Amino acid sequence: MSLYRVKDYVDDASVEWLALFHDVKSPGPAYLEKKNPFSYTENKIIVKKDTVISLLNQTWKIYTVRNDIELSALDLDQGSSFEVGKDYYVYLCDNGGDGVFKISLNSTYPAGYTETSSRKIGGFHYGHIRIVSSDGLWVPIDGSGVKFGNGTPNWRDNVTVGIVPNSVWDLKNRPICSPEGMVKIGHIWVDIYLSSAAETITFESGTNGLHIASGRLQSRYGQIPVSGTEGLNWYTFNELASRIGKRLLTYGEWIRAAYGNPQGLDNADTYGWTKTSNTGRTRTGCRVNPSTGAYDPSTGVKPAAISAYNIVDAVGNLWEWLDELSNRHDSTSWAWQNVLGSGKGQAYLPNNTGLVAYLVGAGWGDGVFAGPRAVSVGSWPWDVGAYVGVRLACDSL
């Protein structure tokens, strides 16, 4: 058996030993990873050899992984295949013997087990992936493996679906916030998708731009991303981010995350929702049906709107607020400007648009102006702009 139950611990001395055990042990900084992440031929998760995990099911039980264990869609608690745009969870389950691993869409416990007879130990996102070099540099390649090559398919169109390799997380390697719909880029975790509403957003006194009264954001496939259309601005996006333990990105962080997303097109939405005839935002995700939000592998829009690090919609759809501000000197007549909202104080500026926040990526009809370095410094943070949304991030645990 590759998975082995070492012993059940019930006495005080054993519980004290368990505390020293630190709950989970593995030889490296992570114990879950995608198998052959840059070959794109297998959609399997590896539980690494010599990982030791505890589970409390009336008594403490300790399990050890003697050899690498491969998990696939065959280990799903329900169904036989993964679905594009979904978050999956990996569980260690007490089956009365040496234990078993299960994969589930359920965020609490897998079918056939309970909250006490299972333990969530990690997860991943199944979605679109830009095919990149296997040398650890994450450079987009064409079908022949040439970096930024024009073979068949060329690097811009060389996209597939599968377990997103940098979305795999575990109890040692994870974001400090909830990990759904996120990928790891360097030392931070970034939302794959533009933020959409997980709960209805309301405001103080019912007034757009004032403090958030209720609401929560999410990174999720097939959703309408929120913007100033819902009354949001730079200030309120920051408030919503803090509610879920996330934050806005800096320009440098965003540039790294958007790297490898091709420039937008004037006459097509291939690499982003950028066609100059577009009249508004569309749903999050590649190959998405704009009416229903469902995955449509044949006619879904934005088939290759993804970066080398697997964030979607970095180019087009909505501009994205960043956590960086600058100031304009259109005037030298400094004065208090009543622009921050009722009861929120005032800003001492050269004019009523003298403070600006960075926007990146470009919007739904910006064509070739949209790209992975596109930036605008022309919007003030109190602007409730229908064309501006956000993508959030958080630090690693």
In a domain, 250, yes or no: yes
Q: Are residues 323 and 247 in the same domain?
A: yes
171 in Cβ contact with 32 (< 8 Å):
no
The CA distance from 317 to 299, in Å, is 18
- The answer to whether 341 touches 205, Cβ cutoff 8 Å, is no
The last residue of one of the domains, among 174, 204, 231, is 174
182 part of a folded domain: no
Other Cβ atoms less than 10 A from the Cβ of 47: the count is 24
> Do 379 and 332 belong together in one domain?
yes
Do 140 and 245 belong together in one domain? no
158 and 198, same domain (yes or no): no
Total length of the chain: 397
* pLDDT higher than threshold 70 for residue 156: yes
Q: Is residue 362 part of a domain?
A: yes
Q: What is the mean pLDDT of residues 56-79?
A: 92
Q: What is the full DSSP assignment across 89-143? A: EEEEE--SSS-EEEEES-SS--TT--SSSEEEEEEEEEEEEE-B-TTTT--BB-T
CATH number for the domain harbouring residue 134: 2.80.20.10
CA atoms of 112 and 118, how far apart (whole Å): 10
- Does residue 234 share a domain with residue 155? no
pLDDT category at 56 given cuts 50, 70, 90 is confident
Q: Does 153 have pLDDT greater than 80?
A: yes
Q: Are residues 295 and 209 in the same domain?
A: yes
Q: What is the average per-residue pLDDT within 315-328? A: 95
Query: Exposed (0-12), middle (13-18) or buried (19+): which is 216, by Cβ within 10 Å?
Result: middle
Do 210 and 88 fall within a single domain?
no
Count of structural domains within the chain? 2
Asked if residue 143 belongs to a domain, the reply is yes
Tell me the whole-structure pTM to 2 decimals.
Answer: 0.95
Mean pLDDT of 301-314: 98
What is the average pLDDT score of the chain?
Answer: 94
* pLDDT tier, 90 (very low <50, low <70, confident <90, very high otherwise): very high
pLDDT of residue 231: 97
What is the DSSP secondary structure assignment for residue 396, as one 8-state letter? B
Average pLDDT over residues 230-254: 98
Last residue of a domain, one of 110, 144, 174: 174
Spatial distance between the Cα atoms of 39 and 31, rounded to a whole number of angstroms: 20
pLDDT band at 14; cut points 50, 70, 90: low
Q: Are 377 and 330 in contact (CB under 8 A)?
A: no
Tokens 């645990």 sit on residue: 397
Q: Are 152 and 288 in the same domain?
A: no
For residues 201 and 226, the answer to whether their CB atoms sit within 8 Å is yes
Mean pLDDT of 372-391: 96
Q: If you average pLDDT over residues 232-242, what whole number do you get? A: 98
In a domain, 183, yes or no: no
- Confirm whether 180 is domain-assigned: no
For residues 179 and 123, is the Cβ–Cβ distance under 8 A? Answer: yes
Kindly state whether residues 161 and 218 are assigned to the same domain.
Answer: no
Share of the chain above pLDDT 70, in %: 95
Residue type, 294: A
Q: Which domain holds residue 148?
A: 3-174
Residue 255 sits at the vertex; the CA angle it makes with 249 and 259, to the nearest 5 degrees, is 130
SS3 163: strand
